[in-house]
Structure 1
Amino acid sequence: MAFSKMVKPESSEVIHLEVLRTERLSPHWMRVTLGGGEIEKFRSMGFDQWFRLFLPIGGEAGLDRVPAKANSLLGYLRFLRIPSGERPVMRNYSVRAYRPASEGAGAEIDVDFVLHGSAEDGTAGPASRWAETCEPGEPVLILDEGITFNPQRGTARVVLVGDETALPAIASICASLPDDATGTALIEVPSEEDALTFPHPQGVDIVWLVRPHEFAPGTFALGRLSDLELPEAPFHAYAAGEQSLASGARKHLVGERGVDKNSVSFCGYWKISAGSAASKAARDASAEPRA
């Protein structure tokens, strides 16, 4: 996971939570709401706050063996020593929304999962399969990692760009911006149904980019970024999603548009492989004859 300078939480410890409910948002999105357990230990930082999520794919007993500092080198090595059949699946996710405790209800964290494949036919990855099939009461662990969106104090102009995996972070950033914030968010999604609307400052223009079949994830958004008229400085840019999109956006903004490198936050969530289905689809489409 490639990223720029992060703001770490005041304390980072394993927090025991459980599934409260799930909701299918679109063909490629599932929301899982977490709470209960040790939710009182979680401290919301807003913006693109992210955490490591440990899923009990090999059974609940594996969660009890996760080291307290599993995000440190020594802790991660200890995590890897958990037998493979028992070791929880660890993935990184953004806090889509946090709701503090209120009278009669505990605090809650919404986590939005991009669904790849299908749990029904066995093509889904472990995290997607879990999100589709988990039940209320199922335990999980989270380990807070802080935020990467790190503008100078008082900055209210933004440029946000990401693929579908960055949508939760961009939505959360917009929820944390001041009401008078201005700018543009370029969000690439695989289908119109996956363009999940969210609250944002009136001055921030949300541009949905439905990815054409012949484009690999992230490339369509990166192309639109190169055509975007940037706001007057000072502003802060944020790029996240597929690694080439995140690093490519930073390279374009800093190297070609002259943006101060300290005014660009970026985070590569994942890397497309040459043998992936998305990469193959893009290659096949590019080989098709054009009219």
Structure 2
Amino acid sequence: MSKHHKYKSYGPQYTVTPREGLTLEILAQAEKAGAKAGYAMAKEQLYRNIGNSSVLNEQETDELLAAAERAGAAAALTAARKVLDKTLRTSFKHYHHSTAQGPAQQLAPQPFAPAQTRSYSETYEEPLAQHTPALGYLDPPREKVDQHILTITRVEQLNAQMVRIIAGAPDLDGYRSNGAIDEYVKVFAADPALGLEPPYDLRALRQRLPRDQVPRSKSYTIRWINAVVPEIAIDFVVHGEPGTVGHWAGTAQPGDPLVISPSRSKSSLSLNADYYVLAADEAGIPAICKALEALPSDARGLALLEVADQNAMFDVKHPPGVDLRWLPRDGVPAGRSSLLADELRSLPLPHLRLGLIAHAERSTVKEISQVARHWHLDKRSSHISSYWTLREGRLRR
């Protein structure tokens, strides 16, 4: 429950005895959980539809989140009261009957009456209410979760080099989105031949396995999250030797586990420019696609996406005012091309407030940073990051 909002006025107030402490605690916990869930769902939807919700100012956004919080608390409290009314009543009514009543009349069911109008000859306490301490006062486990285990539900082929893996689990196995546009996770992959079961105790495995058999991990952008189903989507570049995450992604099948870390992010993108320039190679394309979808519908700009060849293009949602250009390398190895930097240098930029977002190989990012300095962009206007490094002729992403 938010420290800014209280929820003590929903529905009729309960007057409880010490024996009814469990009921009171359950109601309080349900109320708190409902408020948190309502707030989180509203916040997630705002981030997922940030382009459409940009018409809301800060005060309107806060009011919307507060309303969702209150609604979640009220709904959870109502549901909890209904369940408790059926299963956790701590007292039962026994009516006085006249001796003139026959057996049939004495056994007839009595209509339910509000608690304040009923008279009792005795009370009865259910076993659950006798638990000490009350369930609500038992501290839940606070063990840090390093890995979430989902199950792959389907694999979509975006092009010859990229696949989208969609995976889910009840309550996403505890995974919680941080709401950032650049939200990412580490994906853990193990050699199936070793028969290792997740979650992986990497410290113990490093002590007993050769280095090349220890599960690998790489960072990947969360493409989207559907909290209703619930599912997570991650786009992968398929490449690398057996045992790497990129190779695993090319062989993953529905039913296989997808092991990920808790959510992370490096920066909070400020999408408030007049003109956007976005650039990426294959490794950075998922993050750029997510940023394109987050832009306002009336955004203007240019997106440069470097791929292997003409056949590597796929459908990318973007505002109509953003020009989407594919830059095929046509035989040049990934990481060896200067296409992105050359294209950026040749741009006839408008005299507007610019916003630059670029994710690519390390040497390419250095060249793009030089272009950004030539454009006199400050750190708040540019988000440039290295997504992989070309080493010894091999791609390690």
TM-score band, normalised by the shorter chain? 0.7 to 0.9
| 1:111 counterpart letter in structure 2 | I
The equivalent of 1:74 in structure 2 is none
Higher relative contact order (CA 8 A, sep 6+): 1
What does residue 33 of structure 1 align with?
A: 166
Offset at residue 86 of structure 1 (A): 5.6
2: distance between equivalents of 1:253 and 1:59? 48
2:293 pairs with 1:175: yes
Q: TM-score, normalised by structure 1?
A: 0.74
Q: 1:186 pairs with 294, 304, 312, which one?
A: 304
The answer for the alignment partner of 1:210 in structure 2 is 328
Note the residue ranges of structure 1 that are not aligned, 5 or more in a row: 1-10, 67-76, 118-122, 278-291
C-alpha spacing 1:125/1:232, structure 2 compared with 1 (3 Å): farther
**CA distance, structure 2, for counterparts of residue 272 and residue 197 of structure 1:** 27
Is 1:99 aligned to residue 226 of structure 2? Answer: yes
- 1:20 touches 1:35 (CA, 8 Å); kept in 2? yes
Q: Distance in 2 between matches of 1:158 and 1:28?
A: 27
Cα distance in 2 for partners of 1:222, 1:125 equals: 32
RMSD (Å) for aligned C-alpha atoms: 2.9
- 2:385 counterpart SS class: strand
Report the residue type matching 1:194 in the other structure: A
Scaled by the length of structure 2, what TM-score is found?
Answer: 0.56
Aligned equivalent of 2:234: 111
- Render the CA deviation track for 1:168-188: whole Å, top value 9, x for unaligned: 111111111111221111110
2:234 alignment partner AA = V
- Label 1:100 to 1:164 Cα distance change in 2 as closer, same or farther (>3 A): same
Mapped to 1, the partners of 2:234 and 2:151 lie a distance apart of: 12
Larger radius of gyration: 2
Task: Return the alpha-carbon distance in structure 2 between the equivalents of residues 63 and 276 of structure 1.
Answer: 29
Matched, 1:228 2:347: yes
Which of the pair is proportionally richer in strand?
Answer: 1
SS of residue in 2 equivalent to 1:267: strand
- Offset of 1:13 from its aligned partner? 4.7
Report the residue type matching 1:253 in the other structure.
A
Instruction: Give percent identity, aligned residues only.
Output: 26
Matches within 5 A, 1:234-253: 234-253=353-372
The answer to whether the 8 A contact 2:216-2:243 is kept is no
Match of 1:259 among 377, 380, 391: 377
Instruction: Report the counterpart of residue 83 of structure 1 in structure 2.
Output: 209
Partner AA of 1:192 in structure 2: Q
SS at the partner of 2:283? helix
Any conservation in 2 of the 1:17–1:139 contact (CA below 8 Å)?
yes
CA distance in 2, matches of 1:51, 1:196: 24
**What SS does the corresponding residue of 1:63 show, helix, strand or coil?**
coil
Deviates more, 1:194-203 or 1:266-275: 266-275
